[in-house]
Structure 1
Amino acid sequence: MTAIGAGKLLGANLRAARDEQGISLSELARRSGIAKGTLSQLESGTGNPTIETVFSLSNALGVPVSALLTESTGSDVVLVRSADVEVLPGDAIDLRLLRRLEHPGGLFEIYNQEFRPDAAQHSEGHPGTEHHIVLSGRLRVTTRNRVEELGPGDYLAFRAAAPHGYEAVDGPVRSVLLLEYPPDLYPAPPGPH
């Protein structure tokens, strides 16, 4: 995502997804719950997207988040420096999409997450399974009427369709999120992989 900024990339990909599906800006606003003016700004690359906005658009368009935030790459060696990736801010988290991996078994998105202390992040749910690995700090995850507290090296996975939330406990948290989509939801494109 270093060649062009996340906002411009989102705008171009958003417009392409809308055009491909034959969806008007008004229809996307209705489906996503995002104002038409805001969508217009996002498509022009002048908006300031948040985690909530991008996930709402992903759900409304039926595409993975990475389809909105990544450029395609044809290289056998891919280096992504987190510091070079624009932050997608949320209420309590800064999220950086590092990589989108497509294969016949499904689609994976790899994120660098940094949770701010004294704030909570809530998701209404989205397709796929979330896999979390905490690198530093303590992370409280609430999903399906369960509360789990994770420390460095801990791993947690859950289907993300139900509402879920996160909270840093006793300071900031750094973690890796692998978002796994099943192959029937976002099938891999035909051709060599």
Structure 2
Amino acid sequence: MVHSATGLLSANIRLLRSRSGLSLSALARKAGVSKATLSDLESGSGNPTIETVFSLARALDAPVSSLLREGHQEQVTVVRAYRSEVLSGKGVELRPLRREDTGISVLEVYDQLFRAGRQQDSAGHPGTEHTIVTSGRLTAVIDGREHDLGPGDSVRFPASLPHTYIPRGGDVDSVLILTHTEPHHHATGDQAPADH
């Protein structure tokens, strides 16, 4: 069984790329990453960043957790902070906590730390994004509009919109929840349950 984030990413990229019928070159172009970077990730020798993982998820039209998860889940799952691998980006550290797949929709939960003095940009990715600030102050710029958030505040939006997070005055702890409708339900017209 593969346990490291790099090993899981490697196996899952190969599987999802194969299922989508994309060549290595085609996926690299679609994701906006170099073929060499993608080849390294697929071989398990690359060092994935959040930006690369989210770009691949967008290109594969798949939840981010589909790239990072193991197939089998126990009924009771305890996630130990010291054993979780953290994905780092330019301004954020992201730690996967949970994935729920109902067959119609997917729910992903992440612990997220925005580092002081840095901003985290995203061109967009699949799903609906819901960020809940637990400590600190955060500005979320979504599709060009600013939203200032403090502890207990949250923002929810289509994750396909370009968005930027800017911590104000120090590190910001938050929870990231991503929800997705499974792709085969888009094609048949089935809808995921509405978020409230």
**Shared fold by TM > 0.5?**
yes
Sequence identity percentage = 49
The residue identity in structure 1 corresponding to 2:102 is H
Deviations 1:24-50 (A, max 9, x none): 111111111111111111011110101
User: Which residue in 2 is equivalent to 1:23?
Assistant: 22
The residue identity in structure 2 corresponding to 1:50 is T
Unmatched 5+ stretches in structure 1: 188-193
Tell whether the 8 Å contact from 1:142 to 1:148 is kept in structure 2 after alignment: yes
Tell whether the 8 Å contact from 1:63 to 1:186 is kept in structure 2 after alignment: no
1:62 Cα deviation from its structure 2 partner? 1.6
Query: 3-state SS of the aligned residue for 1:71?
Result: coil
1:105 Cα deviation from its structure 2 partner? 4.9
1:186 Cα deviation from its structure 2 partner? 6.1
Query: 3-state SS of the aligned residue for 2:98?
Result: strand
Inter-partner Cα distance in structure 2 for 1:110 and 1:59: 18
Query: 3-state SS of the aligned residue for 1:58?
Result: helix
User: Which residue in 2 is equivalent to 1:149?
Assistant: 148
Residues 44 and 100 (structure 1), Cα distance of their counterparts in 2 relative to 1, 3 Å cut = same
List aligned pairs for 1:42-191, cutoff 5 A. Answer: 42-183=41-182, 185=183, 187=185
The residue identity in structure 2 corresponding to 1:90 is G
Deviations 1:94-151 (A, max 9, x none): 0111111111551111011000000111111112111111111111101133211111
Query: 3-state SS of the aligned residue for 1:117?
Result: coil
The residue identity in structure 2 corresponding to 1:27 is A
Inter-partner Cα distance in structure 1 for 2:41 and 2:108: 22
Deviations 1:149-190 (A, max 9, x none): 11111121111211110011110011000001134x365xxx
Inter-partner Cα distance in structure 1 for 2:130 and 2:81: 19
Query: 3-state SS of the aligned residue for 2:141?
Result: strand
Inter-partner Cα distance in structure 2 for 1:38 and 1:158: 30
Moved over 3 A (4+): none
Tell whether the 8 Å contact from 1:14 to 1:68 is kept in structure 2 after alignment: yes
TM-score with structure 1 setting the length: 0.90
Inter-partner Cα distance in structure 1 for 2:29 and 2:22: 11
User: Which residue in 2 is equivalent to 1:13?
Assistant: 12
Query: 3-state SS of the aligned residue for 2:17?
Result: helix
Query: 3-state SS of the aligned residue for 1:10?
Result: helix
TM-score with structure 2 setting the length: 0.88
Unmatched 5+ stretches in structure 2: 186-196
The residue identity in structure 1 corresponding to 2:92 is I
